[in-house]
Structure 1
Amino acid sequence: MTGRVTIIGGGVVGLCSGLALARDRWNVRIVDAGHDDDAAASWGNAGHIAIEQVAPLASWPMIRSAPGRLFVRGGALALPPRQIGWWLPFALRMAHAAAPARFAGGRDALKTLMAEAVPAWRALVAGLGATDLLREDGHFVAWGDPATAAHGRAGWAAADTGTARFRDADVDERALLRRIGGAAGAIRFENSAQVTDLRRLRAALRAGIVAAGGTITGGRASLALEDGRAIVTVDGERVESERVLVAGGARSGGLLAPIGHRVPIVGERGYHLRSADHDWPAGLPPVAFEDRSLIVTRYDDCVQVASFVEPGDPDAPPDPAKWARLEARIAELGLPIRAPFTRWMGARPTLPDYRPAIGLSRRAGNLAYAFGHQHLGLTLAPTTAQIVAALMAGRPTIPLAAFDVERFARGDRA
């Protein structure tokens, strides 16, 4: 074995990293406070490998459009007054990160990661012996009326989408989309991908880690700084470990605070509904109804409708009005999805510049971190795992200054 490494966090980034390290002959222990539930954003997302989303959401066009996208005006952006202590400082930092030079630096940094996302996913599912977990048949972006469709398509044509490519939906595809949701226009991205079953992915990753000699336990982990090293305790008991990886999602900021890192992370809460009673066409890739700010995904056992951006405290109670709005949207669009619905809410770990934090701590010599992937956690988990394994082995593969957790303390110069 290379040594003992404790990973705090059992979401998709933590599990993918644990698998990569275990296969590199590290003695891996993953501590997962949410071991037995589905509340983590990793297990409730849209299943979309979103290689087209290379432009950070921290941009001036996005900020200028925010008033028109507010939930109170029918949009997907919710800024609850009771959460103002969370989202207002975050919004101010986001505006700082949206300066043209910082936006361009963030876009270029994300492009480097995103270019490897699908190849990394292919390697992951092949190594798990579960290639059917990944489908590479793209996704649709659809709009409800011709004028909105023309505007939306022009926006995508002008956008930097990295390695992703799209075309206009053909006649048969447009007819199919009209039948399921009244779409007046659509494009199809051809080389994005989808995870077919998130729960089965989690089970396969856990099984792969155990097969490689790792362990996964429940419990609440905390960190302390001692003689320049991060010390882990789990439920009050000290854990001996040569290395530590923080992959705790939206709670990573709290985990790192005792080390001296100040991380302005929020839980960007999303909501979804799932139904097993539907007539959604088999084989149809994810469909993003862009003008309604929702995405519909067919999984192996259900269809899911997901929406909303609600920055705030990840532990605040959910807002039932979001689920009610989703049910109304399903009815308005005429989607062939029926009650009873299973409700879910989870918090995407989001930093103000919409870049993850990946790297080695300069405050604790044995500490690494990988969190803050916002809407791209599923997309970038295998790529991040490869980077983490390389860092632990002392052979970093790409420059990581743009993802340094200290960038907010010193001012972003990416």
Structure 2
Amino acid sequence: MQRGDAALRGLMLNALPAWERLTKALDRPDLLDLRGVVKLWEGANATEKATDALQTDHGPATTAPLNAAQLAAFNQALGTPVKAGVHFAGTAHITNPRDVLDTLLARFIAAGGTHLAARAVKITPETETVRVSTTQGDLTADRVVVACGVRSGGLLPDVAVPLVAERGYHVEWDHGGQWTLPNAVFEDRAVVVTRFGSRLRATSFVEFTRDASAPDPRKWERLEAHVRALGLPVASPFARWHGSRPTLPDYLPALGTFRHAPRIVAAYGHNHLGLTLGPVTADVLSAHILRGAPLPTAFSPDRFGLRSGSSK
């Protein structure tokens, strides 16, 4: 467990620098908001909880209590007063996830890459190559990186991949130009509110379930109730979303090559840290593939063994 914690901490320490390098390489520093995040408390023991947060180790993030003017700015914007808050510096968020994906794809194609709109259904290691069977036919490659989230295990017939769908829910809406404050975590409600340009997003809840199971509409209804109770500016109907975060039993990602298939590279199981760890994962896997740089054994994709009945 300690080795796993240390390995994950190493990735997390380099997560923000990796994002900064990526957005700089893309000539899109606007994709990264470096203003940090604020945690807020509403209850009678708000000051005590904020003090506890200030005294807790938060890794590379640094903390400072909100002053009276900063608290007043939130209270002027909210319908429910908050009594204490802590600002976390050294953290960031993506300003537009869709723009990040579109920009990366455009740069990849411009660099000579090929984008195939298809669904992979099976990956088969061969003597000198790897064959990927897709809904648009078979492809072969020298190396294949499996970064398919919660569905990664279905592509790997021999290795055990005990991924579970850690489902998240959010609602998103237009704020009508009425929200300019930093991203906020309403700790008493376990609700996170993030600004993406003209939109706000509220998220909470975790469900451990199957990827194909139906979502629970009560989760969205509760989120929408929190948004209204907080008095956040709402200038449009709510858009509802749910998605499955890929989570392994030890809560660590699977990174690196497989012993039985060294041309296949794992990059899945990042749970709720997928966006955070995307660029640093690309950095460490590139070094691993191109230069043989070692990866922490805690991330080994072989650590759960082979599927029952496999003879590999």
Answer yes or no: same fold by TM over 0.5: yes
1:292 matched to which residue of 2? 189
Supply the distance in 2 between the matched residues of 1:277 and 1:116 (Cα, whole angstroms): 33
Q: Is the 8 A contact 1:280 1:303 kept in 2?
A: no
Q: Aligned to 1:303, which of 184, 191, 200?
A: 200
Aligned residues of 1:142 and 1:149 also touching (Cα < 8 A):
no
**Which residue identity lines up with residue 222 of structure 2 in the other structure?**
R
| Matching residue's letter, 1:190 | A
Aligned pairs for 1:116-265 (under 5 A) are 116-151=14-49, 153-155=51-53, 157-158=55-56, 160-179=57-76, 180=78, 181-221=80-120, 222-227=122-127, 230-235=130-135, 237-256=137-156, 258=157, 260-265=158-163
Structure 1: distance between partners of 2:54 and 2:160: 36
Alpha-carbon displacement from aligned partner over 1:334-380 (angstroms, at most 9, x marks no partner): 22235411111111111122211111111112110111111111111
What runs of 5+ residues in structure 2 fail to find an aligned partner? 307-312
Between the aligned partners of 1:317 and 1:357, the Cα distance in structure 2 is 27
Aligned-residue Cα RMSD (Å) equals 1.9
Question: Would you tell me which structure has more helix in proportion to its own residues?
Answer: 1
- Max radius of gyration: which structure? 2
Identity %: 38
Partner amino acid for 1:183?
V
Residues 1:375 and 2:272 are matched in the alignment = yes
TM-score in terms of structure 2 length: 0.91
Q: Where does the alignment leave 5 or more consecutive residues of structure 1 unmatched?
A: 1-101
Query: What SS class does the counterpart of residue 141 from structure 2 fall into?
Result: coil
Give how far 1:225 is off.
Answer: 3.9
Q: Secondary structure at the match of 1:316?
A: coil
Matched, 1:337 2:237: no
How far apart, CA to CA, are the structure 1 residues paired with 2:87 and 2:277?
21
Deviation readout 1:99-156 (Å, 9 max, x if unpaired): xxx1x32221111111111111111011111111011111011111141452354156
- C-alpha displacement at 1:243, in angstroms? 0.6
Aligned partner letter, 2:145 = L
Distance (Å, rounded) in 2 between the aligned partners of 1:202 and 1:236: 22
Supply the distance in 2 between the matched residues of 1:169 and 1:125 (Cα, whole angstroms). Answer: 29
1: distance between equivalents of 2:54 and 2:267? 30
Cα drift, residue 224 of structure 1: 2.4
8 A Cα contact 2:43 2:83, kept in partner: yes
Assess, with a 3 A threshold, how the Cα gap between structure 1 residues 301 and 151 changes in structure 2: closer, same or farther.
closer
Q: CA deviation at 1:408?
A: 2.9
CA contact (8 A) 2:13 2:60 kept: yes
Contact preservation (8 Å) 1:270, 1:309: yes
TM-score by length of 1: 0.69
Distance, in Å, in 2 between the alignment partners of 1:409 and 1:175 is 55
Contact 2:255 2:265 in 1 (8 A): yes
What is the rounded CA distance, in whole Å, between the counterparts of 2:127 and 2:214 in structure 1?
A: 39
Correspondent of 1:320 among 211, 217, 222: 217
Give structure 1 regions of 4+ aligned residues with deviation exceeding 3 angstroms. Answer: 225-230, 277-280
C-alpha displacement of 1:228: 8.4
Distance 1:346 1:112, change over 3 A: same
Contact 1:228 1:363 in 2 (8 A): no
- Following superposition, the deviation at residue 251 of structure 1 comes to 0.8
Counterpart of 1:407 in structure 2 is 303
- The code of the aligned residue for 1:168 comes to P
Q: 2:172 aligns with which of 245, 263, 274?
A: 274
Higher relative contact order (CA 8 A, sep 6+): 1
Contact 2:40-2:186 at 8 Å conserved across structures: yes
CA distance in 2, matches of 1:182, 1:353: 39
* SS in structure 2 of the partner of residue 240 of structure 1: strand
The answer (yes or no) to whether the contact 1:220–1:235 under 8 Å persists in 2 is yes
Q: Structure 1 residues 277, 363: CA separation in 2 closer, same or farther (over 3 Å shift)?
A: same
CA contact (8 A) 1:268 1:374 kept: yes
Give the letter aligned to residue 48 of structure 2.
A
| CA distances 1:201-229 after superposition (whole Å, capped 9, x unpaired) | 11111111111111222212121244586
The answer to whether the Cα contact below 8 Å between 1:270 and 1:347 also exists between their aligned partners in 2 is yes
Partner of 2:256: 359
- Report if the CA contact (8 A) 1:229-1:365 is conserved: no
**2:288 maps to which of 391, 404, 410:** 391
